[in-house]
Amino acid sequence: MTRVYYKFAIAAVVCFDISRPSTLDNVRKWSQDINDKVVLPNGHPIPMLLLANKCDIPDITIDRAKMTKFAQENGFIGWFETSSKNNFNINSSFEFLVTHIMKLTQNMKAQLEQQQQQLQMNSSNQLNVVGTDLSKKPSSSTSPRANNQSSSSSSTVNNTTSRYFGNCCGGN
């Protein structure tokens, strides 16, 4: 599939038909395709859930230990036996996936907040552009900041960048 089908995906559900073993072979291809084409904003793979469908068919069994191992080896967060015909484990499997997504979202939000706090703490550190010591006050002729010491460090970087790069490369 092309990337456009996966655009903005935050999770995936991959189903196979337990009455047709060849469909389980295709699961590897689907999981690899998903992992190759879409990741979460933090760079981790999106969570994938495996559904073993048609468990309502009599005389067809599934080796649960083998399926658990298969799911782990192929990057799935879990697997469920399901029957779309009888609505068996459909809600449970999706509730499991949504709960997992919510936990991931909370963790990613906490990580983002932590990174923002770190950036704010580091914003008091001044950038040394091409060996220039920005802790020294610039003269009034080289910086509009000379008379306004309450400006943020980003202003210092922008003004310093303007001094060195002028109007080239989109500078001021």
- Span 103-131, pLDDT tens digits: 988 877 777 777 777 777 776 555 555 55
- Span 54-75, pLDDT tens digits: 999 999 989 999 999 999 999 9
Residue 158 confidence (pLDDT)? 41
Residue 18 confidence (pLDDT)? 95
pTM: 0.64
- Under 8 Å between Cβ of 48 and 77: yes
Q: DSSP of 69-106, one letter per residue? A: HHHHHTTEEEEEEEBTTTTBSHHHHHHHHHHHHHHHHH
Terminal alpha carbon distance of the chain = 44
Q: What ranges do the domains of the chain cover?
A: 3-120, 126-170
Residue stretches of the chain with pLDDT short of 50? 142-172
Which H helix or E strand runs over 24?
helix 22-37
**CATH class in words for 3-120:** alpha beta
Residue 139 confidence (pLDDT)? 54
